[in-house]
Amino acid sequence: MKKTKIFISILALSAILLAYNVFAANENNQSGSAKTDETAVLMQKQKTKAVSEIVRRLAFLNQSIEKIQAMQKISSEQKDIFKTEVQSEIDFLNQLKDKINADTDKTVLFNDRKTLKDRYNIFAFLQSQIAVVSYADKILNIVDLMDAQTTDAMVKSKIASAQNKAQNAINSVVALKLENYPKNKNILQENKQLLVEARKELIEARATMKTSK
């Protein structure tokens, strides 16, 4: 009788242990599944943010190709240099965007996002360089129109000053090298300010032309 009770106790204990092990296994599976889901959600958020930044950069760079083509005061050779640099970055970003969208490993995704971050200086340099040259080009076109409409010496002096500033900005900025950014950032900023002054001189010249009519 005692042996029977012992045997029954052993069976009961075995059943309890088996049930516990099954429960623990289920808990571990659920925990692992939850972690996998969390990782997938986090990766998708990171992908969305990275792709959004790439799309933002691509929008500006694609518009820059049109701006470069429309410039009238720089040489065809310089246009080609600008377009080549911009197109190279466009191609790289498109490839990176496709790669990020296809990433399934969080470490690989981390490295791709780091690549995007590290290449920001390339975008920032092209953005500033093209903005300065494009604005200077517009000022020089306005200079040509205004100078042909006046014989006033004082007005012509202001127009000539604006012209010199815009041309100097172009000469200075097109000579800058990408590999020297952001060390040459101050030169870009100085030339932006130069164009602000040139625009102010043209506004003053235009005001004088109106009052002298």
8-34 residue pLDDT tens = 555 455 655 555 555 555 555 555 555
Specify the pTM. 0.80
Q: Which contiguous run of DSSP H or E holds residue 58?
A: helix 2-70
* Token pair listed for 207: 């005001």
Q: Compute the distance between CA of residue 146 and CA of residue 23 in angstroms, rounded to an integer.
A: 86
Q: Compute the distance between CA of residue 32 and CA of residue 26 in angstroms, rounded to an integer.
A: 10
Give the tens place of pLDDT for each residue, 91-121.
Answer: 999 999 999 999 999 999 999 999 999 999 9
Give the tens place of pLDDT for each residue, 151-160.
Answer: 999 999 999 9
Alpha-carbon torsion (72, 75, 79, 85), positive or negative: negative
The amino acid present at 139, given as its one-letter code, is I
Structural Rg of the chain based on CA atoms:
33
Mark out the alpha helices in 71-184 (DSSP H runs).
76-102, 106-118, 120-147, 153-174
| Sequence ranges of the domains in the chain | 49-212
Instruction: Find the distance separating the first CA and the last CA of the chain, reported in whole Å.
Output: 127
